[in-house]
Amino acid sequence: MPLVRISLFAGKPADYRRAIGDGIHQAMVETLAVPEHDRFQIFSEHDAGGIIYDPAYLGIDRTDDIVLVQITLSAGRKPKQKRDFYARAVELLAQEPGLKPQDLLINFIEVVWENWSFGDGKA
C-alpha cells in the first residue's frame, strides 16, 4: 500500500489535482506492480512561501508549478523499476495536466511490512 503525499502551490483547480493523482497512480500500477485499487493519496496545497525550492538546482529550471511527490511504500522495488516510474510519471503528467517535466520532484521512502497497518489495528 503506497501512501502518496503530493504538495503543490495553492490555486490549481480540482481537475488539475485529480490529473496529477491519476497520473502518479497509473505510473505506479504500470511500473511498480501496485494494484489498481491500492490508491491512497494526500494533497497538500501551500500558499506563497509554503514551498521553498531552488529554481535552478542541478541545472533544472523549475517554476512555481512545482509538484513534490513523496511515496512511502514497502521495500523491495529494484532501481530500474524506480527509474521507469520516474520516466512514466513525467510522461503522463506532461500529457495531463500539462506539467513540465522539470517541475516534478519525486522521493521514495521504503519501509518494512511491519511498519504498516492497513486497518482493523492489524499489521
pLDDT over 90, % of the chain = 93
Q: What is the pLDDT of residues 58-113, one digit of tens each?
A: 999 999 999 999 999 999 999 999 999 999 999 999 999 999 999 999 999 999 98
User: Which domains does the chain carry?
Assistant: 3-115 (3.30.429.10)
Amino acid in the structure at residue 65: D
> Starting from the edge strand earliest in sequence, which strands make up the sheet with 104-111, in order?
41-46, 3-9, 67-74, 104-111
Question: Which pTM value belongs to this model?
Answer: 0.94
Q: Catalytic residue numbers? A: 2
Mean pLDDT of 11-36: 98
What's residue 123's pLDDT? 81
Q: What is the pLDDT of residues 53-63, one digit of tens each?
A: 999 999 999 99
Q: Give the contacts of 25 (CB within 8 A, at least 6 positions apart).
A: 4, 34, 39, 41
What's residue 8's pLDDT? 99
What's residue 122's pLDDT? 86
| CA 103 from centre of chain | 12
